[in-house]
Amino acid sequence: MATTDSRTYATGKRKTAVARVWIKPGTGTFTVNGHAIDAYFDRSTSVMIAKQALELIEATGAFDVVATCRGGGKSAQAEAVRHGISRALCEVDAEKRPAIKRAGFLTRDARKKERKKYGQPGARKRFQYSKR
């Protein structure tokens, strides 16, 4: 998390999705991977999730957001963007941190898919036991 020339940077993560987020005071434009947020995220739910942190502190039109996402799926990327925005907003205004933390937007959801084990058909599944 760093502040340079009135832009604030933060990294948001969820599962294997990583979002690099820059926010700066502006008119409320929202760009993800070079596209408008509505064009990048197919589902309106993902758009809503990505904007939740700004709506919580009632700053939807106060900041311009530029984000780049990699890894995971679109849903996880939306949550990673929300996590990055939340962390950047805490850098900009520390007084907003308790409200953002209470909403659970600063917690990184680290659940990942468990790896498959050798000699077994899946991550948890085992071959059927045969007595004879």
- Mean pLDDT throughout 74-82? 95
What is the residue extent of each domain of the chain?
2-102
Pull the structure tokens for residue 130.
């045969």
Query: What is the model's pLDDT at position 87?
Result: 95
- Domain 2-102 in CATH 3.40.640.10: no
Q: CA separation (Å) from 8 to 16, 43, 85, 103?
A: 23, 27, 9, 21
pLDDT tens readout for residues 46-56: 999 999 999 99
pLDDT tens readout for residues 107-130: 988 888 899 999 999 999 989 888
Q: CA separation (Å) from 97 to 51, 63, 92, 93, 116?
A: 16, 17, 10, 8, 39
Tokens 């408008």 correspond to what residue? Answer: 36
Is-contact 26 34, C-beta < 8 A?
no
> Looking at the predicted structure, is the pLDDT value of residue 2 above 80?
no
